[in-house]
Amino acid sequence: MSKPRIAFLGLGLMGSGMARQLLAKGFPVTVFNRNTEKSEPFRNDGASIAATPREAAAGAEFIISMVADDNASRSLWIGENGALAGAASGTLCIESGTVTVDWIKELSEAAGNAGCGMIDAPVTGSKTQAAAGELNFLVGGSSGALELARPVLLAMGNSIVHLGPVGSGSLIKIINNFVCGVQIASLAEALTMIERSGLDRAAALEVMSNGAPGSPLFKAVSTRMTTPDYTPNFLLRLMAKDLSYALVEGGKLSIHLKTANAALDLFKQGIASGHGEQDISAIVEQFRNH
């Protein structure tokens, strides 16, 4: 059986790996990226290149967006040249970026008005997992829509968790990244304490890595901080964005996320120090420069 045609919108750190996985698995894919230079290499992988999201969506059975934030997502989906303007009735729309619940609900309504289905399917994992097809999809939407999307999602990942109705996937992703951001901020401060105190850094980190704090995130980020290697796996400025979104979602539930606020301050300082386009682990450099 022929595989469904897919429109893939957004070819950044994550989207590029995801689109290549779809192409490698034999899906016919049309890609769009705002910076057209990023689209051209995909032609060699068998993709069609679209000039607009609307053009990419024409004839697609699935439309997947993977961009940085609400504004970027809105610019792809909505408007005269947006994907929904080109989508046929019955197309399933999949938003995989880390965006707010309010935007997901607005997008879901717009998709419905266009005769399309909609799920939110953000991911856990970073650039490495995207390139290897090892992402975990966190899905909000109906069971029926998820079953339609399942073969497409599993071409890019190795697990799917259905969290509930539309917006549920985005909410847990924001909560997940809030906890990660706080951990990374505290690790940056802890590593600075170790370095300034004169402790044996390798031995101290081994104690922590093999103890209760030693999560996969701790191990990966501490390695990048000590190398140091700030080649982006997850952009520092996007963690600041995610923490900002977490504060909004917490506020809706009458929860003032004090730890998120504190971590956000440190990530904002990292951006101000010139590290916004580097990996999240570069947050430690603002302490080293003092």
From 173, 219, 252, 258, active-site residue: 173
Match 């697609």 to its residue by tokens.
60
Closest residue by Cα to residue 34 from 88, 85, 71, 84: 71
User: What are residue 29's phi and psi, to 5 degrees?
Assistant: -125, 135
CA distances from 249 to 106, 118, 142, 236, 243 (A): 15, 21, 22, 20, 10
Is there a catalytic annotation at residue 105?
no
List the Cα angle 26/32/34 in 5-degree steps. 150
Measured CA to CA in angstroms, residue 259 lies from 73, 178, 248, 252, 279 at distances of 28, 9, 14, 17, 21
Phi, psi of 163 (to 5 degrees): -90, -20
Token pair 């390139």 in the structure block, residue = 131
Question: Given the structure tokens 């300082």, which residue do they identify?
Answer: 269
**The tokens 């509930």 sit on which residue?**
164
Indicate which residues carry an active-site annotation. 173
